[in-house]
């Protein structure tokens, strides 16, 4: 795609009112724009990354057999009263009176989906069932200072599973942990699964997926030997409780969580199924979240450097940034256009009439995996630079084209 046609408002300096690395870089590079605290517009490059992250999440959930739905963000109080969460979440949930009814903007969808399933009157033949959505959620966040990692409006993937018994729920619950590991691996992130307290359901079983980063607001205890990790909220042993070796406390970003509710919703909201003897039994329910917009911020935090963003190829808005430098002859112009022609959807061609310095600075800031320079100086060759390592190679234009078709 031609850079002159896209809307990429890069800035010479990071915005003064942002404190987080991801908030600074994503805005300076023109990926997002802050409207007010914790609320961002996603611009063409940022939206491409967000969509790529969402696609990876969709692919892995669909492969596991979950089905995608889309539920309303605007919800009635009456449902939330069934679990008492209208009251317990009132500090963080946007709630108001609409005529003679009370409504709220949801930060989670357990009440809505449990109501949906109970009204469908399932039988044992319909189970298990896994439904997920990727949807904008709202949370009245007092500390909206972490860029897109802690927004008041944010994109989430939330999956809910329904089971006839605890054994079936437990098997599905562990299966989703495998799905999550696959998703984070595909995004290039090393995640640690930790046991955690259950948020508003502290007595129930829950887990978090944490990515180590100095930008994180969480702290996890990570074993130096085995794969053990635990949120330090739960205590601070100096040694790994699993293998006895030394453990270290590290800062981390929570990118996913899973909640095993057992039969809580089945009992509390009367969500039942008919078993093979015709008897109504409570359903077993679990929910599983991934912060989609938060993951974009996490990737920016983990990989970004002093020159700008550095995107893993799996989520990069384009594979390569083609820069034209200096006065090109007709053949060189053709070479540059050839990249755009052959690989249109995966190439960003900087066709703007700007100084080389300006183009190089913007390319570093935007952080596409490869930079291809077509310049008067190089003749028939092009210079290919890997953004993450800085490694440079000179190759023919045809070879560079072939290379990009394989990565």
Binding residue for Zn ion, selected from 54, 212, 223, 366, defined by CB under 5 A: 223
Find tokens 């948020």 and name the residue. Answer: 199
Cis link prior to 56 (omega < 30° from 0)? no
| Residue 339 within binding range of Zn ion, rule CB under 5 A | no
Q: Name which of 193 and 323 has its Cβ closer to Zn ion.
A: 193
According to DSSP, residue 318 is labeled: S
226 interacts with Zn ion by CB under 5 A: yes
CB of 181 to Zn ion, least distance (A): 18
**In this chain, which stretch among 80-88, 171-179, 222-230, 269-277 interacts with Zn ion, using CB under 5 A?**
222-230
CA 147 remoteness from chain centre:
13
Query: Does residue 225 touch Zn ion according to CB under 5 A?
Result: yes
Minimum separation from the CB atom of position 230 to Zn ion (A):
10
Distance of CA 395 to the CA centre of its chain: 35
Closest separation between CB of residue 322 and Zn ion, Å? 47
Residue closer to Zn ion, measured from CB, 148 or 222: 222
Which among 117-125, 217-225, 303-311, 332-340 is the span making contact with Zn ion, rule CB under 5 A?
217-225
Q: What is the 3-state secondary structure (H, E, C) of 204-261?
A: CEEEEEEEECCCCCEEEEEECCCCCEEEHHHCCCCECCCCCCEEEEEEEEEEEEEEEC
Query: Cα 192 vs. chain centroid, distance in angstroms?
Result: 16
Q: Is 193 in the site for Zn ion (CB under 5 A)?
A: no
Question: How far is it, in rounded angstroms, from Cα 234 to Cα 220?
Answer: 10
Among 212, 240, 316, 343, binds Zn ion (CB under 5 A): 240
Per CB under 5 A, 246 contacts Zn ion: no
Least distance from C-beta 82 to Zn ion, angstroms? Answer: 42
Stretch that binds Zn ion, among 64-72, 226-234, 301-309, 348-356 (CB under 5 A): 226-234
* Spatial CB neighbours of 46, under 8 Å, sequence gap ≥ 6: 26, 31, 32, 296, 317
CB closer to Zn ion out of 68 and 227: 227
Nearer to Zn ion, 191 or 324 (CB): 191
Measured from the CB atom, the residue of 89 and 222 that comes closer to Zn ion is: 222
Q: Is 394 helix (H, G, I), strand (E, B) or coil?
A: strand
Query: Rounded to the nearest whole angstrom, what is the least distance from the CB of residue 247 to Zn ion in the complex?
Result: 7
**Residue among 165, 242, 337, 361 that touches Zn ion (CB under 5 A):** 242
Of how many residues is the chain composed? 407
| Residue of 335, 375, 337 lying closest to 359 (CA atoms) | 375
Q: Tell me the number of residues near Zn ion by CB under 5 A.
A: 7
User: Pattern of binders to Zn ion over 369-398, x per CB under 5 A?
Assistant: ------------------------------
**Helix 292-303 × helix 21-28 angle, to 10°:** 90
Residue 228 interacts with Zn ion (CB under 5 A): yes or no = yes
> H or E stretch including 119?
helix 110-119
Identify the residue among 92, 232, 243, 313 touching Zn ion (CB under 5 A): 243
b/e sequence 193-206, b meaning 16+ C-beta within 10 Å = bbebeeeebeeebb
Segment near Zn ion (CB under 5 A), from 29-37, 151-159, 193-201, 216-224?
A: 216-224
Stretch that binds Zn ion, among 80-88, 220-228, 308-316, 363-371 (CB under 5 A): 220-228
Instruction: Determine if 221 is a binding residue for Zn ion (CB under 5 A).
Output: no
Piece of the chain touching Zn ion by CB under 5 A; list 43-51, 192-200, 242-250, 335-343 = 242-250
Distance CA 72, CA 389 (A): 44
Residues 205 and 223: their CA atoms lie apart, in Å, by: 21
Q: How many CB atoms lie within 10 A of CB 305?
A: 14
- Binding residues (CB under 5 A) for Zn ion: these are 223, 225-226, 228, 240, 242-243
């Amino acid at each position: 795609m031609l850079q002159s046609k896209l809307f990429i408002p890069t800035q010479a300096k990071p915005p003064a009112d942002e404190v987080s690395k991801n908030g600074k870089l994503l805005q300076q590079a023109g990926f997002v724009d802050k409207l007010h605290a914790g609320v961002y517009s996603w611009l063409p490059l940022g939206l491409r990354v967000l969509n790529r992250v969402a696609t990876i999440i969709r692919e892995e959930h669909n492969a596991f057999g979950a089905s995608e739905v889309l539920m309303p963000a605007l919800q009635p109080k009456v449902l939330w009263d069934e679990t008492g969460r209208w009251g317990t979440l009132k500090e963080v949930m946007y709630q108001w009176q609409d005529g003679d009814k009370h409504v709220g903007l949801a930060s989670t969808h357990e009440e809505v989906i449990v109501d949906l399933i109970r009204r469908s009157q399932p039988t044992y033949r319909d189970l298990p069932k896994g439904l997920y959505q990727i949807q904008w959620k709202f949370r009245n966040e007092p500390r909206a200072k972490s860029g897109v990692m802690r927004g008041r409006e944010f994109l989430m993937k939330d999956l809910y599973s329904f089971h006839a018994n605890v054994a079936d729920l437990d098997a599905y619950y562990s299966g989703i942990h495998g799905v999550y590991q696959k998703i984070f691996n595909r995004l290039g992130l090393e995640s640690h699964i930790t046991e955690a307290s259950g948020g508003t359901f502290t007595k129930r079983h829950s887990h978090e997926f944490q990515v180590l980063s100095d930008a994180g607001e969480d702290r996890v205890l990570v074993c130096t030997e085995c794969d053990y990790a635990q949120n330090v909220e739960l205590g601070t042993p100096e040694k790994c409780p699993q293998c006895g070796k030394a453990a270290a406390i590290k800062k981390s970003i929570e990118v996913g969580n899973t909640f095993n509710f057992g039969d809580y919703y089945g009992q509390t909201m009367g969500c039942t199924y008919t078993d093979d003897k015709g008897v109504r039994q409570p359903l077993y329910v679990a929910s599983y979240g991934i912060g989609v917009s938060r993951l974009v911020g996490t990737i920016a935090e983990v990989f970004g450097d002093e020159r700008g963003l550095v995107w893993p190829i799996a989520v990069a808005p384009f594979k390569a940034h083609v820069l034209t430098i200096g006065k090109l002859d007709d053949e060189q112009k053709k070479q540059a256009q050839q990249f755009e022609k052959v690989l249109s959807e995966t190439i960003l061609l900087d066709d703007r009439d700007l100084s080389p310095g300006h183009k190089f600075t913007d390319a570093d800031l935007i952080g596409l995996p490869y930079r291809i320079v077509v310049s008067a100086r190089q003749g028939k060759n092009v210079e290919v630079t890997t953004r993450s390592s800085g490694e440079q190679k000179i190759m023919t234009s045809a070879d560079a084209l072939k290379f990009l078709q394989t990565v």
